[in-house]
Amino acid sequence: MTRPGLSFSHFGLFVTDLALMEDFYSRVLEFTVTDRGRLERPSGAVDLVFFSRDPDEHHQIVMAGGRPGDVGFNVINQISLKADSLATLKLMHARLQSEGLREIAPITHGNALSVYAKDPEGNRLELYLDLPWYVTQPLAVPVDLSRDDGLIMDEAERHARSLPGFMPRAQWRAEMARRMGVA
């Protein structure tokens, strides 16, 4: 059960080089371009590209051209994409490495395994796999994804069990549902 009224759907971001970002998000992250076009607005026309990885969602990301190239600070903390398996996370880690991206960092949050990297315009990406337990956040510890899957998972669980707040994800979820009033 979720809270009634609103659910998260998609986000948009301004980009400097729309073609470069379209290539990266469609080729490397395997988003499909669902639409594109120019929208006339009172403040001026903007070129838009819509992306999705889900046929039930017209777009999960919309990119708008026009971001100045000399913006001194990127307000995007991260764009997070959930992996369906450790195999997918490892495949995407290798793919990001092959792209020569900056600051690729595989880590454990205790409750998830994550790979962080910067997209071609410096927006931080997080590709992650939820683990079946919860630990108190924040936490970020390097992890070696080149090792055997069983070793990675065994070490992640052993580490998580030693941390404050460790509990099965189902128990954490039940507590959050109670706190959100949707239990």
Give per-residue pLDDT as tens, 3-18: 667 777 899 999 999 9
Q: Is residue 2 part of a domain?
A: no
Residue 114 has pLDDT above 80, yes or no: yes
Verify that 81 and 62 share a domain, yes or no: no
Q: Is residue 3 part of a domain?
A: no
Any idea what DSSP says for residue 26? I
Contact between 122 and 78 under an 8 Å Cβ cutoff? The reply is: no
Verify that 59 and 110 share a domain, yes or no: no
In the predicted model, what is the mean pLDDT of residues 25-40? 96
Q: Which domain holds residue 117?
A: 77-183
Helix (H, G, I), strand (E, B) or coil at 66: coil
Under 8 Å CB-to-CB from 17, ≥6 apart: which residues?
Answer: 120, 121
Q: For position 181, which CATH number holds?
A: 3.30.720.110
Verify that 121 and 36 share a domain, yes or no: no
Q: For position 49, which CATH number holds?
A: 3.10.180.10
2 — pLDDT class (breaks 50, 70, 90): low
- The number of angstroms, rounded, from the C-alpha of 90 to the middle of its chain's C-alpha atoms is 14
Residue 1 has pLDDT above 70, yes or no: no
Q: Is residue 4 part of a domain?
A: no
**Rg of the chain, C-alpha, whole Å:** 19
Looking at residue 87, its amino acid is A
Q: Is residue 71 part of a domain?
A: no
- pLDDT in the model for residue 32: 97
Verify that 133 and 159 share a domain, yes or no: yes
Contact between 81 and 117 under an 8 Å Cβ cutoff? The reply is: no
Verify that 107 and 156 share a domain, yes or no: yes
Under 8 Å CB-to-CB from 111, ≥6 apart: which residues?
Answer: 130, 131, 133, 134, 135, 137, 160, 169
Verify that 61 and 113 share a domain, yes or no: no
| Mean model confidence pLDDT for the chain | 93
The model carries a pTM of 0.89
Per-residue pLDDT reduced to its tens digit, 44-79: 899 999 999 999 999 999 999 999 888 888 888 899
